[in-house]
Amino acid sequence: MSAPAREPAGGWVAAERPSPGAVLRDALGAPARCLAARELVAASVRRELAARLSGTVLGKLWPLVQPLLVFAIYWFVFTRLLGFRMPSLPPEQGAAMGVWMFTGVLVWTAFGEAVSRATHAFVENGNLIRKVAFPVEVLPFNVVLAGTATLVFGLAAFLLVCLVTPLWPAPGPALAWVPVLLVLHVAFTTGVAWIVAAAHALVRDTQHVVAAGITVWMFVTPVFWVPSPEVVPGIAEWLPWLRLNPLHDALYAWRHALMSGEPAFAFPDPPAAAVARFAAWSVASLFAGAVVLAAARRRFADEV
Amino acid sequence: MAVELALQAEGLGKAYRRYASNLGRLVELATLGRAERSQPFWALRGVDLEVARGAALGLVGANGAGKSTLLRVLAGTTHPSEGRYRVAGRAAGLLELGAGFHLDFTGRENIALAGMLLGHPRRELRRKEAEILAFAELDEFADQPVRTYSTGMGMRLGFAVATAFDPDVLIVDEVFAVGDMYFQKKCVDRLLAFRAAGGTLLLCSHSLYDVRQMCDEAVWLDGGRVAAAGTSVDVTNEYAAFQREHIEGLARSAPAAARPDAPRVVDARLYAAGTDEEVDEVEPGRSVELRVWYENPTPETTPVHVGLGVLRQDQTLCFGVGTHLDGVDVPGRTGCAVLSLPELPLLSGTFQLLVVLFDGSGVHRYQEHLLARPLVVRSRTKELGLVRVPHAWSVRAGADAPALPASSRSPTGSSTGSSTGSSTGSSTGSPGPATGAAPQPAEGGGAGTS
């Protein structure tokens, strides 16, 4: 059934390649279409999450338990076993490296996994796209939201640990950044997801490119390392380049909020600038993704 | 145009791209299509359609003729490659039953998901849920996973969901042909009710009967193009005639324009015998005559013969006659061959009249000309079968009856017992003790047909 929002009733649908203006209008309408399909999106995300938990004993506890386990492993391996320490820390911040890595992995995974899975969003639902007329942009969006839900559970687990253990001080007012960062995370990831999903529908090499790209991206992003000359000597000359990575700013802002800006040497600047830069990246990503989708969408049904 | 159109297409075409290699695909994409590396395969081309609001259009054609492609384009799941179309109001495409169902989720959940996929708000779904479950007869199973459903249950649910939301235009691709008779009847009833409520229907089916029953108009697609368009009866007849030729492996005669010198049938019509009154509906026993006007530019070098084949709708040839079979000449550059059929012995049915122009040997066919309207015979008697054979009954009882043949009187050996039994069974059913069971099926068959 043609979704009412997509084609004005009684309007001609023509074969001609859409003009740049039409692509632009189509692209700018993408967020509105996702919003209009919110019930479908909500149901799909619930289904996706339910499918991961169906048949398990712990059920709804798993999204909480899993990050707790990851947290425990990072803390144990890096802080206790390997003794990774940031220099000149007060004793109560001894777990800094474990917390640093955990927060990095948490945010990175929400992004990386969503992008990897979204790559297949159109191809896997090929039969649906061929047989039912609906706004296809919701498919990658669903994947991103499901990944974001995991992120939210991870954040909850982290706060729980901070509150009930002396491992790390619980974040204060800085937590106010979290909703903003979540919105930006969804926007940025959705844009990237749209691009890779569209590309994979047209060229099946995309999944391999994405897999390799995600790995490289993870290591140039400060997930496991601290972008500070005090921890990684000689990094100063690379920092201007490394900061071109949108996720560099994203992780800085996330950690600033979650770790309350401690240890201070790792957070030399207030988070607002990083948030602003990431917000710009997010808008750009969302827009680029919507344009790619608007230009390529008419071919999906023939290619998937 | 005074008629309000629900659906309109102009020069609609759909090409699928074929790439010699995946590298070519990449090159074309990287240059945004400027460096073309694909060969278009036209699944559909130059299709013009106009469907009035409340009308029903049937699509017929062989597999791969472009029917499904046309429906997909009009349903909005794939984009046209040329031309344009428009749909007035909300169109619902029923291209595959149960597309979008998830096997692990219950019937109820799938109704919600599929409905939302089709763009319906949740509250509307709640309102329709009971109706959908009732139509699909799945009330008891609403909370079972769809995985546990039988094929038929899944199909019922799919059909119920897709047709539940009162679209303006319903686009149906051969979906109910797969179910059992009961399911098919339900679907057909629902489609008829949809039409009665003013809905516009676009139906693709291999069942010419369904197309005739449900559609006023039809389009025959062949090789992606419109081969014929018109009333559903005309188009399905034409398509059926083509299919028959195709099956028999006969080449359709080239159009006269291609060979201006070839003999041709100018026209052929059926009249009440001896009058100028054209007929297309008669009672058995009516006398009719067929007039075939022909043209033969070179009668000296290409003598011709005229033949008529009468076919029932299942393509059974009821009878075929020809001037070459009866030793009649068909002379001159132009003329009219009149075939008298006194007291037409056909019983009830719809018959196609196929006029054939043969060469002098009666082997090569210059042209086959199907009469525009089939001949409908309406019988008032209760005779059964295809033809009315001249017949008379006389019954004599007792000693006046003809003597029973000697072979039936004396019982024969067991080796020939069964054949004897069946022959007595098919006669008047005399009680032969050795073959007591044989008369029974014969009587049962007789009871069934009367």
**How many distinct structural domains can be found in chain A?**
1
What pLDDT sits at residue B179? 65
How far apart, in Å, are the Cα atoms of A72 and each of A48, A98, A111?
Answer: 27, 9, 21
**Is A174 part of any domain?**
yes
Write down the domain spans for chain B.
Answer: 5-240, 258-377
- Cβ–Cβ contact B71 with A under 8 A: no
In this complex, which of A14, A132, A301 lies closest to B99 when CB atoms are compared? A132
- Cβ–Cβ contact B23 with A under 8 A: no
Please name the helix (run of DSSP H) or strand (run of DSSP E) that holds residue A160, with its range, or none: helix A138-164
Distance between CA atoms of B76 and B29, rounded to whole angstroms? 23
Taking CB atoms and an 8 Å cutoff, what residues of chain A touch B119?
A: 1-5, 37, 134
Distance between CA atoms of B149 and B101, rounded to whole angstroms? 12
Q: Rounded to a whole number, what is the largest CA-CA distance in chain A?
A: 71
Among the four given CATH numbers 3.40.718.10, 3.30.2350.10, 2.70.50.60, 2.40.50.140, the one describing domain B258-377: 2.70.50.60
The 10s digit of each residue's pLDDT in A148-200 is 998 999 999 899 888 988 888 888 888 899 999 999 999 999 999 999 999 99
What pLDDT sits at residue B178? 61
Cβ of A39 within 8 Å of Cβ of B84? The answer is: no
Q: How far is A304 from chain B (nearest CA, A)?
A: 11
What pLDDT sits at residue B439? 38
**Is A1 part of any domain?**
no
Q: Which residue of B has its CA nearest to A131?
A: B95
B200-204/B225-231 β-pairing = unpaired
The 10s digit of each residue's pLDDT in A241-279 is 999 999 999 999 999 999 888 888 888 888 899 999 999
- Cβ–Cβ contact A233 with B under 8 A: no
Instruction: Please determine, for residue B444, whether its predicted confidence score (pLDDT) is greater than 60.
Output: no
Distance between CA atoms of A126 and A121, rounded to whole angstroms? 9
What pLDDT sits at residue A218? 92
Q: How far is B147 from chain A (nearest CA, A)?
A: 14
Q: How far apart are the first and last CA of chain B?
A: 53
Taking CB atoms and an 8 Å cutoff, what residues of chain B touch A54?
A: 104
What pLDDT sits at residue B176? 65
Taking CB atoms and an 8 Å cutoff, what residues of chain A touch B22?
A: 203-205
Taking CB atoms and an 8 Å cutoff, what residues of chain B touch A134?
A: 117-119
- Cβ–Cβ contact B153 with A under 8 A: no
Query: What are residue B45's DSSP bridge partners?
Result: none
What angle, 0 to 180 degrees and rounded to 10, lies between the N-to-C axes of helices A271-303 and A246-258? 130
- Cβ–Cβ contact B113 with A under 8 A: yes
The 10s digit of each residue's pLDDT in A199-243 is 999 888 899 999 999 999 999 999 888 888 888 888 888 888 999
> In this structure, what is the dihedral angle of CA atoms B419, B423, B425, B428, given to the nearest 10 degrees?
-160
- Cβ–Cβ contact B21 with A under 8 A: no
Cβ of A13 within 8 Å of Cβ of B76? The answer is: yes
User: For B5-240, which CATH class?
Assistant: alpha beta
Taking CB atoms and an 8 Å cutoff, what residues of chain B touch A4?
A: 90, 119
Torsion-angle region of B422 (φ positive above 0: left; ψ -120 to 50: alpha; else: beta)? alpha
> Using CB atoms within 10 A of its CB, is residue A141 exposed (0-12), middle (13-18) or buried (19+)?
buried
Q: How far apart are the first and last CA of chain A?
A: 19
CA atoms within 13 A on the CB side of B407: 7
Cβ of B77 within 8 Å of Cβ of A5? The answer is: no
Torsion-angle region of B64 (φ positive above 0: left; ψ -120 to 50: alpha; else: beta)? left
The 10s digit of each residue's pLDDT in A114-137 is 999 999 999 998 888 888 888 899
Question: Between chain A and chain B, how many beta carbons pairs sit less than 8 Å apart?
Answer: 121
- Cβ–Cβ contact B293 with A under 8 A: no
Taking CB atoms and an 8 Å cutoff, what residues of chain A touch B16?
A: 302
What pLDDT sits at residue B437? 39
Name the more confident of A110 and A4: A110
What pLDDT sits at residue B447? 37
Q: Which residue has the tokens 């428009």?
A: B86
Instruction: Please determine, for residue B251, whether its predicted confidence score (pLDDT) is greater than 50.
Output: no
Identity at A13, one-letter amino acid code: V
What pLDDT sits at residue B450? 33
Name the more confident of B44 and B385: B44
- Cβ–Cβ contact B5 with A under 8 A: no
Q: Which residue of A has its CA nearest to B105?
A: A47
Cβ of B113 within 8 Å of Cβ of A6? The answer is: no
Taking CB atoms and an 8 Å cutoff, what residues of chain A touch B86?
A: 10-13
Distance between CA atoms of B20 and A6, rounded to whole angstroms? 34
Q: What is the 3-state secondary structure (H, E, C) of chain B?
A: CCCCEEEEEEEEEEEEEEECCHHHHHHHHHCCCCCCCEEEEEEEEEEEEEEECCCEEEEECCCCCCHHHHHHHHHCCCCCCEEEEEECCCEEEECCCCCCCCCCCEHHHHHHHHHHHCCCCHHHHHHHHHHHHHHHCCHHHCCCEHHHCCHHHHHHHHHHHHHCCCCCEEEEECCHHHCCHHHHHHHHHHHHHHHHCCCEEEEECCCHHHHHHHCCEEEEEECCEEEEEEEHHHHHHHHHHHHHHHHHCCCCCCCHHHCCCCCEEEEEEEEECCCCCECCEECCCCCEEEEEEEECCCCCCCCEEEEEEEEECCCCEEEEEEHHHHCCCCCCCEEEEEEEECCCCECCEEEEEEEEEEECCCCCEEEEEECCCCEEECCCCCCCCCECCCCCCCCCCHHHCCCCCHHHHCCCCHHHHHHHHHHHHHCCCCCCHHHCCCHHHHHHHHHHHC
**Is A15 part of any domain?**
no
Identity at B434, one-letter amino acid code: A
Distance between CA atoms of A303 and A130, rounded to whole angstroms? 9
Give the range of the structural domain holding residue A84, as residue numbers without chain letter.
33-303
- Cβ–Cβ contact A15 with B under 8 A: yes
**What is the rounded average pLDDT for all residues in chain B?**
80
What pLDDT sits at residue B426? 38
Distance between CA atoms of A255 and A271, rounded to whole angstroms? 9
- Cβ–Cβ contact A13 with B under 8 A: yes
A111: nearest Cα among A144, A64, A142: A144
Taking CB atoms and an 8 Å cutoff, what residues of chain A touch B26?
A: 203, 205
In this complex, which of B29, B33, B96 lies closest to A131 when CB atoms are compared? B96
Q: Which residue has the tokens 């061929």?
A: A130
- Cβ–Cβ contact B121 with A under 8 A: yes
Q: Cα–Cα–Cα angle for A111, A114, A118, nearest 5°?
A: 140
The 10s digit of each residue's pLDDT in B287-313 is 999 999 999 888 888 889 999 999 887
**Is A7 part of any domain?**
no
C-beta atoms surrounding B308 within 10 Å: 21
Q: And the tokens for B368?
A: 């086959």
pLDDT over 70 for what percent of chain B? 85
B288-295/B264-272 β-pairing = antiparallel
Cβ of B80 within 8 Å of Cβ of A14? The answer is: yes
C-beta atoms surrounding B318 within 10 Å: 16
Contact B128, B161 (CB under 8 A): no
Q: Which of A11-15, A197-201, B326-330 has the lowest mean pLDDT?
A: A11-15
Instruction: Please determine, for residue B145, whether its predicted confidence score (pLDDT) is greater than 70.
Output: yes
Q: How far is B167 from chain A (nearest CA, A)?
A: 9
Residues B141-152, mean pLDDT to the nearest whole number: 87
A302: nearest Cα among B81, B427, B6, B424: B81
